[in-house]
Protein backbone atom coordinates (compact mmCIF):
# COMPACT_ATOMS: atom_id res chain seq x y z
CA UNK A 1 0.00 0.00 0.00
CA UNK A 2 2.85 2.44 0.85
CA UNK A 3 4.42 1.83 -2.58
CA UNK A 4 1.16 2.64 -4.35
CA UNK A 5 0.81 5.92 -2.47
CA UNK A 6 4.42 6.83 -3.22
CA UNK A 7 4.06 6.25 -6.95
CA UNK A 8 0.87 8.33 -6.96
CA UNK A 9 2.75 11.08 -5.15
CA UNK A 10 5.67 11.29 -7.57
CA UNK A 11 3.36 11.18 -10.59
CA UNK A 12 1.29 13.98 -9.12
CA UNK A 13 4.47 16.02 -8.60
CA UNK A 14 5.44 15.57 -12.26
CA UNK A 15 8.23 13.08 -11.58
CA UNK A 16 9.04 9.75 -13.13
CA UNK A 17 9.43 7.04 -10.50
CA UNK A 18 13.07 6.02 -10.29
CA UNK A 19 13.24 2.22 -10.01
CA UNK A 20 16.15 2.45 -7.56
CA UNK A 21 16.97 5.03 -4.93
CA UNK A 22 14.16 7.54 -5.46
CA UNK A 23 11.47 5.02 -4.53
CA UNK A 24 13.22 4.45 -1.21
CA UNK A 25 13.37 8.14 -0.32
CA UNK A 26 10.57 10.28 1.10
CA UNK A 27 10.18 13.70 -0.53
CA UNK A 28 12.51 16.62 0.18
CA UNK A 29 11.97 20.35 -0.29
CA UNK A 30 15.17 22.26 -1.10
CA UNK A 31 14.71 25.83 0.11
CA UNK A 32 17.86 27.21 -1.49
CA UNK A 33 18.79 26.67 -5.14
CA UNK A 34 20.28 28.90 -7.83
CA UNK A 35 20.53 29.05 -11.59
CA UNK A 36 24.16 30.12 -11.28
CA UNK A 37 26.50 32.40 -9.32
CA UNK A 38 26.29 36.20 -8.89
CA UNK A 39 29.79 36.34 -10.38
CA UNK A 40 31.53 34.42 -13.15
CA UNK A 41 33.72 31.37 -12.58
CA UNK A 42 35.57 29.37 -15.25
CA UNK A 43 34.14 25.96 -16.22
CA UNK A 44 35.52 23.18 -14.06
CA UNK A 45 36.29 25.41 -11.08
CA UNK A 46 36.34 23.36 -7.84
CA UNK A 47 33.54 23.96 -5.34
CA UNK A 48 33.89 26.53 -2.60
CA UNK A 49 35.43 25.51 0.70
CA UNK A 50 36.22 27.23 3.99
CA UNK A 51 38.41 27.98 5.82
CA UNK A 52 41.36 28.64 3.55
CA UNK A 53 43.69 26.98 2.81
CA UNK A 54 41.50 24.13 1.65
CA UNK A 55 40.83 22.11 -1.47
CA UNK A 56 37.35 22.11 -2.94
CA UNK A 57 36.11 19.16 -4.93
CA UNK A 58 33.81 18.86 -7.94
CA UNK A 59 33.84 20.89 -11.13
CA UNK A 60 31.67 23.88 -11.94
CA UNK A 61 29.02 23.44 -14.64
CA UNK A 62 28.48 26.90 -16.10
CA UNK A 63 26.52 26.07 -19.26
CA UNK A 64 22.90 27.00 -18.35
CA UNK A 65 21.26 24.06 -20.14
CA UNK A 66 23.70 21.48 -18.75
CA UNK A 67 23.38 22.94 -15.25
CA UNK A 68 19.59 22.72 -15.36
CA UNK A 69 19.60 19.15 -16.62
CA UNK A 70 22.16 18.00 -14.03
CA UNK A 71 20.22 19.70 -11.27
CA UNK A 72 16.95 18.03 -12.27
CA UNK A 73 18.64 14.64 -12.52
CA UNK A 74 20.02 14.95 -8.99
CA UNK A 75 16.68 16.23 -7.72
CA UNK A 76 15.10 13.08 -9.14
CA UNK A 77 17.78 10.89 -7.57
CA UNK A 78 17.13 12.28 -4.08
CA UNK A 79 13.38 12.82 -4.60
CA UNK A 80 13.59 16.59 -4.18
CA UNK A 81 10.08 17.57 -5.19
CA UNK A 82 10.32 21.34 -4.76
CA UNK A 83 13.13 23.87 -4.98
CA UNK A 84 13.15 27.53 -3.96
CA UNK A 85 15.04 28.85 -7.00
CA UNK A 86 16.66 32.23 -7.56
CA UNK A 87 19.16 33.77 -9.92
CA UNK A 88 20.71 37.10 -10.85
CA UNK A 89 19.59 36.56 -14.45
CA UNK A 90 15.80 36.54 -14.04
CA UNK A 91 15.31 35.09 -17.53
CA UNK A 92 17.23 31.97 -16.44
CA UNK A 93 14.91 31.56 -13.46
CA UNK A 94 11.85 31.86 -15.72
CA UNK A 95 13.33 29.27 -18.11
CA UNK A 96 13.91 26.74 -15.31
CA UNK A 97 10.37 27.30 -14.10
CA UNK A 98 8.95 26.89 -17.61
CA UNK A 99 10.90 23.68 -18.16
CA UNK A 100 9.81 22.14 -14.84
CA UNK A 101 6.80 24.16 -13.61
CA UNK A 102 5.93 21.88 -10.68
CA UNK A 103 9.48 21.63 -9.38
CA UNK A 104 10.47 25.23 -8.65
CA UNK A 105 9.31 28.24 -6.66
CA UNK A 106 10.76 30.97 -8.85
CA UNK A 107 12.33 33.97 -7.15
CA UNK A 108 14.67 36.84 -8.13
CA UNK A 109 18.18 37.29 -6.70
CA UNK A 110 18.59 40.90 -5.50
CA UNK A 111 22.08 42.40 -5.15
CA UNK A 112 21.64 46.14 -5.63
CA UNK A 113 18.18 47.47 -4.74
CA UNK A 114 16.96 50.49 -6.69
CA UNK A 115 13.67 51.94 -7.95
CA UNK A 116 14.03 50.49 -11.44
CA UNK A 117 14.63 46.97 -10.10
CA UNK A 118 11.65 47.32 -7.78
CA UNK A 119 9.38 48.45 -10.62
CA UNK A 120 10.51 45.54 -12.79
CA UNK A 121 9.93 43.19 -9.88
CA UNK A 122 6.37 44.38 -9.38
CA UNK A 123 5.73 43.65 -13.07
CA UNK A 124 7.13 40.14 -12.72
CA UNK A 125 4.82 39.40 -9.79
CA UNK A 126 1.81 40.83 -11.62
CA UNK A 127 2.59 38.51 -14.54
CA UNK A 128 2.87 35.52 -12.20
CA UNK A 129 6.51 34.78 -13.05
CA UNK A 130 7.78 34.85 -9.45
CA UNK A 131 6.31 33.47 -6.22
CA UNK A 132 9.10 34.26 -3.76
CA UNK A 133 11.62 37.03 -3.04
CA UNK A 134 15.34 36.55 -2.75
CA UNK A 135 17.92 35.51 -2.27
CA UNK A 136 18.31 39.06 -1.07
CA UNK A 137 22.07 39.12 -1.44
CA UNK A 138 22.74 42.80 -0.75
CA UNK A 139 25.38 41.83 1.81
CA UNK A 140 27.52 40.93 -1.20
CA UNK A 141 27.46 44.64 -2.01
CA UNK A 142 28.04 45.66 1.62
CA UNK A 143 24.40 46.62 2.20
CA UNK A 144 22.93 45.45 5.55
CA UNK A 145 19.34 44.14 5.75
CA UNK A 146 18.06 47.20 7.63
CA UNK A 147 19.26 49.62 4.96
CA UNK A 148 16.40 51.95 3.89
CA UNK A 149 16.83 50.90 0.25
CA UNK A 150 15.43 47.47 1.11
CA UNK A 151 12.34 48.71 2.93
CA UNK A 152 10.06 48.75 -0.16
CA UNK A 153 11.15 45.21 -1.03
CA UNK A 154 10.16 43.90 2.38
CA UNK A 155 6.89 45.80 2.21
CA UNK A 156 6.12 44.28 -1.18
CA UNK A 157 6.88 40.79 0.12
CA UNK A 158 4.71 41.29 3.19
CA UNK A 159 1.83 42.69 1.13
CA UNK A 160 2.02 39.74 -1.30
CA UNK A 161 2.72 37.20 1.48
CA UNK A 162 5.87 35.97 -0.25
CA UNK A 163 8.51 33.68 1.29
CA UNK A 164 11.76 35.66 1.49
CA UNK A 165 15.33 34.30 1.52
CA UNK A 166 18.12 36.55 2.75
CA UNK A 167 21.91 36.30 2.96
CA UNK A 168 22.59 37.52 6.49
CA UNK A 169 25.64 35.73 7.89
CA UNK A 170 29.36 36.02 8.42
CA UNK A 171 30.66 34.41 5.23
CA UNK A 172 30.07 34.78 1.51
CA UNK A 173 31.82 34.86 -1.86
CA UNK A 174 35.10 36.69 -2.21
CA UNK A 175 33.64 39.87 -3.68
CA UNK A 176 35.22 43.31 -3.16
CA UNK A 177 32.26 44.92 -1.42
CA UNK A 178 31.17 41.99 0.76
CA UNK A 179 31.13 42.91 4.43
CA UNK A 180 30.92 40.41 7.28
CA UNK A 181 29.69 43.17 9.58
CA UNK A 182 26.62 43.61 7.36
CA UNK A 183 25.62 40.00 8.11
CA UNK A 184 24.88 40.19 11.82
CA UNK A 185 21.39 38.63 12.26
CA UNK A 186 20.59 41.28 14.90
CA UNK A 187 20.33 43.73 11.99
CA UNK A 188 17.13 41.91 10.99
CA UNK A 189 15.32 43.15 14.10
CA UNK A 190 14.30 46.47 12.56
CA UNK A 191 12.94 44.61 9.53
CA UNK A 192 10.87 42.15 11.57
CA UNK A 193 9.46 44.84 13.84
CA UNK A 194 8.44 46.91 10.84
CA UNK A 195 7.01 43.86 9.01
CA UNK A 196 5.60 41.42 11.58
CA UNK A 197 3.86 39.29 8.94
CA UNK A 198 6.96 38.88 6.79
CA UNK A 199 7.89 35.25 6.09
CA UNK A 200 11.68 35.47 6.26
CA UNK A 201 14.32 32.75 6.30
CA UNK A 202 18.06 33.17 6.72
CA UNK A 203 20.52 31.09 4.75
CA UNK A 204 23.21 29.04 6.46
CA UNK A 205 21.33 29.63 9.73
CA UNK A 206 23.31 32.87 10.06
CA UNK A 207 26.64 31.03 10.43
CA UNK A 208 28.73 31.65 12.47
CA UNK A 209 26.47 34.06 14.43
CA UNK A 210 25.02 31.22 16.51
CA UNK A 211 23.93 33.09 19.64
CA UNK A 212 22.58 36.07 17.72
CA UNK A 213 20.58 33.85 15.38
CA UNK A 214 19.08 31.81 18.18
CA UNK A 215 18.14 34.95 20.09
CA UNK A 216 16.39 36.36 17.02
CA UNK A 217 14.48 33.12 16.43
CA UNK A 218 13.35 33.01 20.07
CA UNK A 219 12.04 36.55 19.86
CA UNK A 220 10.55 36.46 16.34
CA UNK A 221 8.63 33.23 15.65
CA UNK A 222 8.11 34.13 11.98
CA UNK A 223 11.86 33.77 11.41
CA UNK A 224 13.16 30.48 9.96
CA UNK A 225 16.59 29.36 8.71
CA UNK A 226 18.01 26.96 6.14
CA UNK A 227 21.28 25.04 6.36
CA UNK A 228 22.52 25.49 2.75
CA UNK A 229 26.28 25.67 2.11
CA UNK A 230 27.40 24.95 5.66
CA UNK A 231 26.36 21.35 4.99
CA UNK A 232 29.33 21.06 2.61
CA UNK A 233 31.49 24.20 2.44
CA UNK A 234 32.85 24.04 6.01
CA UNK A 235 34.16 20.97 7.87
CA UNK A 236 31.38 18.49 8.69
CA UNK A 237 32.29 18.62 12.38
CA UNK A 238 31.81 22.41 12.43
CA UNK A 239 28.41 22.07 10.74
CA UNK A 240 27.28 19.43 13.21
CA UNK A 241 28.37 21.53 16.19
CA UNK A 242 26.42 24.48 14.80
CA UNK A 243 23.28 22.50 14.00
CA UNK A 244 23.34 20.79 17.41
CA UNK A 245 23.08 24.19 19.08
CA UNK A 246 19.83 24.94 17.26
CA UNK A 247 18.43 21.52 18.07
CA UNK A 248 19.39 21.85 21.76
CA UNK A 249 17.74 25.28 21.77
CA UNK A 250 14.46 23.68 20.69
CA UNK A 251 14.44 25.23 17.22
CA UNK A 252 14.28 22.01 15.20
CA UNK A 253 10.84 22.93 13.87
CA UNK A 254 12.19 26.04 12.16
CA UNK A 255 15.34 24.70 10.49
CA UNK A 256 14.86 23.86 6.80
CA UNK A 257 16.94 21.97 4.29
CA UNK A 258 18.73 23.88 1.55
CA UNK A 259 21.59 22.84 -0.70
CA UNK A 260 22.54 26.29 -2.04
CA UNK A 261 23.12 24.67 -5.43
CA UNK A 262 24.97 27.20 -7.57
CA UNK A 263 27.13 25.68 -10.30
CA UNK A 264 28.04 22.48 -8.46
CA UNK A 265 24.86 20.38 -8.65
CA UNK A 266 26.67 17.38 -7.14
CA UNK A 267 26.70 19.31 -3.87
CA UNK A 268 22.95 18.75 -3.57
CA UNK A 269 23.72 15.14 -2.69
CA UNK A 270 26.42 16.20 -0.24
CA UNK A 271 23.93 18.47 1.51
CA UNK A 272 21.30 15.71 1.71
CA UNK A 273 23.80 13.22 3.09
CA UNK A 274 25.02 15.68 5.74
CA UNK A 275 21.53 15.64 7.24
CA UNK A 276 20.90 11.94 6.67
CA UNK A 277 24.15 11.01 8.39
CA UNK A 278 23.82 13.34 11.40
CA UNK A 279 23.98 10.89 14.33
CA UNK A 280 22.30 13.27 16.78
CA UNK A 281 19.12 13.74 14.69
CA UNK A 282 16.14 11.45 15.11
CA UNK A 283 14.25 10.30 12.03
CA UNK A 284 11.41 12.68 12.92
CA UNK A 285 13.85 15.58 13.20
CA UNK A 286 15.33 14.74 9.82
CA UNK A 287 11.87 14.68 8.25
CA UNK A 288 11.14 18.08 9.80
CA UNK A 289 14.32 19.55 8.32
CA UNK A 290 13.93 17.87 4.93
CA UNK A 291 10.22 18.49 4.45
CA UNK A 292 7.77 19.29 7.24
CA UNK A 293 9.20 22.65 8.27
CA UNK A 294 9.23 23.92 4.69
CA UNK A 295 5.63 22.76 4.23
CA UNK A 296 4.63 24.88 7.22
CA UNK A 297 6.72 27.88 6.18
CA UNK A 298 5.44 27.78 2.59
CA UNK A 299 1.86 27.29 3.82
CA UNK A 300 1.44 23.99 2.01
CA UNK A 301 -0.41 22.30 4.90
CA UNK A 302 -3.59 21.83 2.89
CA UNK A 303 -1.86 21.10 -0.40
CA UNK A 304 -1.89 17.86 -2.36
CA UNK A 305 1.78 17.31 -1.54
CA UNK A 306 1.03 17.14 2.18
CA UNK A 307 -1.98 14.89 1.71
CA UNK A 308 0.05 12.45 -0.36
CA UNK A 309 2.88 12.51 2.16
CA UNK A 310 0.49 11.74 5.02
CA UNK A 311 -0.90 8.78 3.10
CA UNK A 312 2.59 7.57 2.35
CA UNK A 313 3.35 7.41 6.08
CA UNK A 314 0.32 5.22 6.83
* Domain spans in the chain, listed from the N-terminal domain onward: 25-313
- For residues 27 and 309, the answer to whether their CB atoms sit within 8 Å is yes
Q: What percent of the chain has pLDDT over 70?
A: 89
> What CATH code would you report for 25-313?
3.20.20.140
Residue with more model confidence, 149 or 24:
149
CA distances from 83 to 7, 57, 133, 294 (A): 20, 23, 13, 10
Residue 96: band (very low, low, confident or very high) from pLDDT cuts 50, 70, 90 = very high
Q: How far apart are CA 204 and CA 113, in angstroms?
A: 22
Residue with more model confidence, 17 or 198:
198
pLDDT at 170: 98
pLDDT at 302: 55
Q: How many CA atoms lie within 13 A of 291 on its CB side?
A: 19
Quick one: CA dihedral 282, 245, 290, 269, positive or negative?
Answer: negative
Question: What single-letter DSSP state applies at residue 51?
Answer: S
Predicted TM-score (pTM) of the model is: 0.90
pLDDT at 204: 98
Residue 308: band (very low, low, confident or very high) from pLDDT cuts 50, 70, 90 = very low
Residue 21: band (very low, low, confident or very high) from pLDDT cuts 50, 70, 90 = low
pLDDT in tens, 187-242: 999 999 999 999 999 999 999 999 999 999 999 999 999 999 999 999 999 999 99
Amino acid sequence: MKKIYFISFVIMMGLSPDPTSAQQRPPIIDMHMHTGLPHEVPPGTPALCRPEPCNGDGQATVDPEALRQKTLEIMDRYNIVKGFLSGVDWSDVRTWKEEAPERFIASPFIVKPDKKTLANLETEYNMGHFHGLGEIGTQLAGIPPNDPSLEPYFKLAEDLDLPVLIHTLGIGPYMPHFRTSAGDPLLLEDVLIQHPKLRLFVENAGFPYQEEMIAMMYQYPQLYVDVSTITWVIPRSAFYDYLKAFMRAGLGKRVMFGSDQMVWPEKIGAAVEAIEQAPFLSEDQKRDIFYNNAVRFLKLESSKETTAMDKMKE
